[in-house]
Amino acid sequence: MFPFSSSRRLRGIRHFGAISRVLIKHGLGEVAQRLKGLGRGSATKAATPVLPDAARIRRVLEELGPSFIKLGQLMSTRGDIFPPEYIEELSKLQDRVPPVPFSEIQQTIERELRRPVAELFERIDPQSLAAASVAQVHSARLKSGEKVAVKVIRPGIHKLIRKDIEVMYYFARKIEKRYELGRALGVVNLVKEFESTIFRELDMLIEAGNIERFTQSFEDHEEIYIPKVYWQFTSKSVLVMEHIDGIKMDQVEAIRRAGIDPQEVAMIGLRSFSRQLMQAGIFHADPHPGNTIVMRDGRVSLVDFGIVGYLDEETMMQIAHVFLGFSEHDYEMVMEAFEAAGLVDSQRMDLHQFRLDLKEISEPFYGRSLKTIAVKDVYDQTMRLVFKYRVALPRNLLLLLKTFIQTEALGKILGSEASLLEVTRPYARRLLERGYEANKIFKNLGREIRTAGGYLRWMPKLTHDVFKRIAQGEHRLEIRHGGLEQTARKFENGLNRLTIGLVVAASVIAASLILNSSQNILVVQIDRFGLQSISITQVLGVTGYIIATILGLWLIFSIIRSGKL
């Protein structure tokens, strides 16, 4: 996060005038006045926690420029903190700007690759194929003859974004200080999240690495094609990749004219999505029609890997449980997966009601093909549930939810009869079966043992440091116990019962041995009760049986009375 010096604060104040004019223009003058009043140090009561009109906020962000449009796009994925009407409106933000003159693009390429453009390419088209706020793309041909797409970061964009982020922090802190709702939404944290993600999107080496990882994940998957990266022509601000010639996925009639079945294309997309989630552990998080190309031979190619999500093995397993639970109407499995992922907490929400609400929004969509489902309805209802229960979704899961909706939307455009849950079910089953394989269990066990070993290596040093500080008087060691009285009583009672049981057993054994002995000691002649004589050994044996019987009956009675039989 940027430190705020006096000069930066002054620059924020200078920007305030321009931003204030935009707010007033779109009917948000009251917001501008409150922020301006706070800037002069005036103290006012907290504002009523009501969000401004969503459409006005969208128009404000559009007019403020590329960085604020990107911020709005990030906000559109945060259904956990913004209501559905905001999510819908902010999703309309379009990241399209006029292209930078080719002369500036050429300077960037030559500076990054340290060679003249004429030496790098046989030719390069000065007209851009696409232009967005952070980069633009030009077609070109290498000296070796391959047709390529050259993606170049817009000159000066790093400086502009840093300047805009300073302004965002400046106003985010004002909003949190002035509006209680701003603190509840965590406006400053939202800017922090934007700052951490936008600069990853500006690094072409990261995007190139994402492409390589997708290539490895789909190298044995013939129906998906990932473009090749030309690393010798790639740097932090320039990415040269194979140019994919084909048809955008939403051009259904063009796909049919090419002799390709649109429904099969949709199935390829759904299988690809399932594979990304439950095998690769990385997913393309922006699969809109412009980034999904149907090739002339019927394969589907993914392009533009600037926004991807990453999943660890544990998260993949949880997602598999969620998909399998939904496909089999097993909401207990879904809830267990949610709890394992830390998304729901019985201490702060009514899990029973949450489960009922989840079932209520899910059941109507079972068994229906994509073309009969209003994707907007699914998304809106899901976001309402997330917003109602204040479920804190990690960024990757928010990206996953957005990707899920976009994938369904593409399937619907293509007229797919498939059910996404049915397509993902076998992938989920295979993932869960793989997770329970013996070699996987031993691999995880080995990892846990290595982790424990690391802790053990540090234990002697940590113990030495603790006792050293205690000896030097820096710390005081106090040992207290409490609440152990009941445990001690239970232990004592158990020990007493065990002792009595041993006495009973010993008495029975001793009495049996004595009575069965052929030796008689101190024989006394009597003529009563049908006995002619009796010895002391016989008396001891009978007495042992009597004692054992009494103690045994008492022990059984006490156990029955305690209810622990």
Q: Are strands 147-153 and 135-142 parallel, antiparallel or unpaired?
A: antiparallel
Residue 360 CB-half CA count within 13 A: 9
Helices (H), 65-137: 66-75, 84-90, 102-113, 117-120
286 is catalytic: yes
Strand residues in 276-330 grouped as ranges (E):
282-284, 292-295, 300-302, 308-310
Pairing mode, strands 147-153 and 238-242: antiparallel
Contact criterion met (CB below 8 Å) for 415 and 252: yes
Residue tagged 């498939």 (tokens)? 418
Asked if 109 and 238 count as a contact pair (C-beta separation under 8 A), the reply is: yes
Q: In the numeric block, which tokens belong to residue 346?
A: 């019985």
| Tokens 């909003």 sit on residue | 175
The CA distance from 119 to 32, in Å, is 53
Select which of 80, 164, 286, 304 is catalytic: 286
The DSSP 8-state label assigned to residue 229 in this structure reads B
At 149, which amino acid appears?
A
The terminus-to-terminus CA distance of the chain in angstroms comes to 64
- Short-list 217, 365, 200, CA closest to 282: 217
Task: Give residue 80's identity as a one-letter amino acid code.
Answer: D
Retrieve residue 533's tokens. 């004589």
Say how far apart CA 86 and CA 90 lie, in whole Å. 6
Q: How far apart are CA 411 and CA 417, in angstroms?
A: 9
Spatial neighbors of 473 by CB under 8 A, at least 6 apart, are none
CB half-sphere exposure, 344, CA atoms < 13 A: 19
Q: Dihedral sign for Cα 406, 408, 409, 415, please.
A: positive
Strand-pair partners of 411: none
Print burial letters for 162-171: b (CB count within 10 Å at least 16), e (below 16).
eebbbbbbbb
Nearest to 192 by CA among 310, 285, 71: 71
Question: How many Cβ atoms sit within 10 Å of the Cβ of residue 373?
Answer: 18
DSSP per-residue codes, 182-222: HHHHTHHHHHHHHHHHHHHHT-HHHHHHHHHHHHHHTTT-T
Whole-angstrom distance, CA of residue 161 vs CA of residue 153: 12
- Give the residue among 417, 316, 298, 319 at the shortest CA–CA distance from 368: 417
DSSP result, 526-543: EEETTEEEE-HHHHHHHH
Q: Chain-centre distance of CA 454, in angstroms?
A: 27
Nearest to 35 by CA among 71, 60, 58: 60
Catalytic residue numbers read 286
